[in-house]
Amino acid sequence: MAITVVPMPHHEVHFINRVSWLRAAVLGANDGIVSTASLVVGIAASGAARESILLSGVAALVAGAMSMAAGEYVSVSAQADVEQADLAKEKQALDQQPEAERLELRDIYIERGLEPDLADKVATQLMETDALGAHARDELGITDTGTARPVQAAMASAASFAVGAAAPLLAAAIVPEQGRITCIAAISLLCLVLLGYMGARAGGARRMRSIIRTLFWGALAMAVTAGAGHLFGAVV
């Protein structure tokens, strides 16, 4: 008696559907850590009192979070406007010249490797079922996973900035004056290491490369700011 082997369902885990919020979250957290730590380290290097350091740090946290939210919302909204404009133009073309649009879709599939007859059949079927969706995906590169989401990007960026900025600010509040700069820098660099690791893990990327990249630029920014604070002896 022959035994029929039923293949197991094949499921791949992809990370591209996270790109809309992951980019904003990583950018916000990185900016929160680096900018706040650099500011706090620079002010501490100038010899300012703890109260001035904390006041400046809190102001940087609030202003930075609001700035990141506004910037993300405006920039991603601009992207969404471009997408909507292209979709409207494509819809008009489909209404006015459906055959030309079908041939355009066919040519796209031919360039991607399909035989002309098969490409023609695929283009015809897609035009009958979801013409605008087919052109949005294959001609314009607009997909559901990559669609701009301004509110989501703004919230992710603002929240992650506040979380990132809280680490160096908390360190400045609890660490004694002796060794303050070193401790703030060390804690901030540790947070950058964790950010690089978590961002790479969430996105399925190489973790060591992400950690090194995040750590290098964060350390450089803090070193330059601390040097400026020490050199000029003023709040920077």
Examine residue 124 and state whether it is found in any structural domain, yes or no: yes
Examine residue 2 and state whether it is found in any structural domain, yes or no: no
pLDDT tens per residue across span 95-149: 899 899 888 889 989 988 889 899 889 889 988 888 888 888 888 887 765 566 7
| pLDDT recorded at residue 16 | 47
pLDDT tens per residue across span 17-47: 555 556 677 778 888 888 888 888 888 877 7
* Residue-number span of the structural domain to which 41 is assigned: 18-232
Examine residue 186 and state whether it is found in any structural domain, yes or no: yes
Examine residue 65 and state whether it is found in any structural domain, yes or no: yes
**Residues near 224 by Cβ (< 8 Å), separated by ≥ 6?**
38
Work out how many domains the chain is built from and give that number. Answer: 1
Rg (CA), the chain: 25
The answer to whether the beta carbons of residues 224 and 41 sit under 8 Å apart is no
Task: Summarize the confidence of residues 72-78 as an average pLDDT.
Answer: 87
> CA quadruple 56, 48, 231, 183: dihedral positive or negative?
negative
| pLDDT recorded at residue 4 | 53
pLDDT tens per residue across span 115-126: 989 988 988 998
* pLDDT at 74 exceeding the cut of 70: yes
AA identity, residue 75 = S
pTM value surpassing 0.75? no
Examine residue 3 and state whether it is found in any structural domain, yes or no: no
Q: Cα–Cα distance between 6 and 173 in angstroms, integer?
A: 62
pLDDT tens per residue across span 157-181: 889 899 999 988 988 888 887 878 8
Examine residue 57 and state whether it is found in any structural domain, yes or no: yes
* pLDDT at 204 exceeding the cut of 60: yes
Model confidence band, residue 66 (pLDDT cutoffs 50, 70, 90)? very high
* pLDDT at 227 exceeding the cut of 80: no
Task: Summarize the confidence of residues 206-227 as an average pLDDT.
Answer: 81
Examine residue 35 and state whether it is found in any structural domain, yes or no: yes
Examine residue 26 and state whether it is found in any structural domain, yes or no: yes
AA identity, residue 67 = S
